[in-house]
Structure 1
Amino acid sequence: MAPSKKKHASGQTCVIPGGFTVLSLQFSPDSPAQHKLCVKEHKVRAERSSHRPMDRTLFVLNIPPYCSEAVVKELFSQFGAVQSVELRDHPGAFQHSGPKLATFFKPAEKKGFKVGYVIFQNSSSVSAAKSHPLDVPLVVSAGQHPVSTGVQKWIQQYRESFIQPDKLQQTVDSFMQDYDKRKEEEVERQKREAEEQQEDEEGWVKVTRGNKGAKARPHSEAANQRTLQKEIVKKKRKELMNFYTWQHKNTQKEHIAQLRKKFEEDKQKIALLRAQRKFRPY
């Protein structure tokens, strides 16, 4: 979505259809070219996540490839303290992908323009970013925070590709400790659920109410198997085979029909064998 070509007065904001505010982005103070960012307050009612508060989250479009999360955080920190920054290839709901991995364990990111979610510590920072004038560009590479490009960037990436063995071992040990802790918590949770779902002497099952607003968790495989076995036992208790006369008659009719069907199939097999047999007296 391109911004309007109408000239704006100095110190005024540029708002385009859709409620997006256009911000100018400049790589360096002496760079003649400028890039445009589109920002908007993040308001999605379906996404009620604490990771993206609706009153403190700024949705950013058209982020160039040379802007990392650290660069974006530094750019928008002039509007207020930034809590976190999330960059993605496409907009969407927040997805918790398990434990946080170290940088050298993550797959290579796709190079291209991205969308971002900037979470501020105060809600007033969102309004300050939206009211930023168009003719005052945000500078990416300043004197205190330079951004490497070209050969310098390749050299930096090459140096960062080497991993110290002690640092790698420390990261792996920390990850395994967190993994073991999460597994123990999962086992404890399943044990509590199994105890809660056990029947008492009279066959009653205690049902507890979860926290308000908590999503219902799917039943585990063990719980589903227990429920299925209980239903089978309950069904066998209720069923009384051949209790009524009509049940006994229907059972006899079905048995006779099966015998007749088998008899007809055997007759067809015998006829086929006779047809295939050839008389050879000599």
Structure 2
Amino acid sequence: MAPSKKKHADDQAYLIPGGFTVLSLQFSSDTAARHSLYVKEHRVRAEKSSGRPMDRTLFVLNIPPYCSEGVVKELFSQFGVIQSVELLDHPGSVQESGPKLAKIFMPPAKQGFKVGYVVFKKASSISAVKSHPHDVPLVVCTEERQVKTGVQKWIQQYTESLIQPEKLQEIVDSFMQDYDKRKEQEEERQRQEAEQQQEDEEGWVKVTRGHKGAKARPHSEAANQRTLQREKQKKKRKELMNFYTWQHRNTQKEHIAELRKKFEEDKQRIALLRAQRKFRPY
């Protein structure tokens, strides 16, 4: 019987529904068990201006717990120069607000499978990852890169959790300097907004031209606060003026008397004008 001419596609990339490419992962070269990673190009329009560019970011699913950010970076560095690696418990957007905390101040990470975002320097690296043969596994633990597990990993984590007081003081000082800098920038921004939205005595706002490309902001927080404060003062004066019923009644009487006085003055003025008018036929 002649051998079959049909060839298996194990030496090619393995695709699954959803646009994911399956990569084979092996803990060490002497283990037979393999793990599967699911990767595809990260394309989210909402994150166009974030640290995950659409054409250079690789989205990775099913990352095992023994793979840290450093291990993932070394695994994918064979496809190109890596700019950054980020591991999360579940997919999500980038949160860059506020100063970044050191790892010693962060809550302990959950132990489990992770999702990752690998940002390359070049867009061609994404194609190289997606075309990687499925039967060629990525080896995690090698002679050059030792990955500890079990008790050895716990000992390493405990040792890394201990920090010298000098190093801790340096981290705290750096954090406080960053915090003070951000606070000064925020105060300067609020001061500039207050100057641009400054009102005169009659309530007019001076509108100035901002830098090119800046979005118009018709109202600022400071201007809104001043408007509310002015309305509260007017309401308070009105309440104090007509607090009692007899005060309100007297105010109405004075207003009516003033109107009658003006009416009588107008009548006298009209009568005087009529008396001074002369008939001049020629």
**TM-score with structure 1 setting the length:** 0.74
8 A Cα contact 1:8 1:14, kept in partner? no
8 A Cα contact 2:198 2:223, kept in partner? no
8 A Cα contact 1:199 1:206, kept in partner? no
- Describe how 1:83-232 pairs up with structure 2 within 5 A: 83-200=83-200, 203-209=204-210, 212=213, 219-220=220-221, 222-229=222-229
Distance in 1, matches of 2:223 and 2:147, equals 55
Q: In the TM superposition, what whole-angstrom CA distance separates every residue of 1:155-196 from its partner, at most 9, and x where no partner exists?
A: 211211211011111111111111111111111111011001
Instruction: Say if 1:102 and 1:204 are closer, same or farther in 2 by CA, change over 3 A.
Output: closer
Instruction: Say if 1:215 and 1:105 are closer, same or farther in 2 by CA, change over 3 A.
Output: farther
8 A Cα contact 2:24 2:136, kept in partner? yes
Distance in 2, matches of 1:215 and 1:123, equals 36
8 A Cα contact 1:73 1:82, kept in partner? yes
8 A Cα contact 1:65 1:112, kept in partner? yes
Identity %: 69
Distance in 2, matches of 1:211 and 1:24, equals 51
Instruction: Say if 1:185 and 1:161 are closer, same or farther in 2 by CA, change over 3 A.
Output: same
Structure whose CA Rg is larger = 2
Instruction: Say if 1:167 and 1:94 are closer, same or farther in 2 by CA, change over 3 A.
Output: same
Distance in 1, matches of 2:59 and 2:145, equals 24
Q: Where does residue 68 of structure 2 map in the other structure? A: 68
Instruction: Say if 1:218 and 1:155 are closer, same or farther in 2 by CA, change over 3 A.
Output: farther
Distance in 1, matches of 2:178 and 2:218, equals 22
What amino acid sits opposite 1:61 in the alignment? L
- Describe how 1:242-281 pairs up with structure 2 within 5 A: none
Instruction: Say if 1:183 and 1:63 are closer, same or farther in 2 by CA, change over 3 A.
Output: same
Distance in 2, matches of 1:68 and 1:102, equals 17
What amino acid sits opposite 2:207 in the alignment? K
SS of 1:152 mapped into structure 2: helix
Distance in 2, matches of 1:30 and 1:230, equals 78
Instruction: Report the count of equivalent residues.
Output: 231
8 A Cα contact 1:26 1:138, kept in partner? yes
Instruction: Say if 1:130 and 1:230 are closer, same or farther in 2 by CA, change over 3 A.
Output: farther
Moved over 6 A (4+): 213-218, 231-235
8 A Cα contact 2:81 2:121, kept in partner? yes
Shift of 1:46: 2.6
Shift of 1:13: 0.4
Shift of 1:23: 0.3
SS of 2:47 mapped into structure 1: coil
SS of 1:87 mapped into structure 2: strand
**TM-score with structure 2 setting the length:** 0.74
Instruction: Say if 1:211 and 1:162 are closer, same or farther in 2 by CA, change over 3 A.
Output: farther
8 A Cα contact 2:197 2:220, kept in partner? no
CA RMSD of aligned residues (A): 2.8
Shift of 1:102: 1.4
- Gapped regions of structure 2 (runs ≥ 5): 1-6, 236-251, 253-282
Distance in 2, matches of 1:37 and 1:127, equals 16
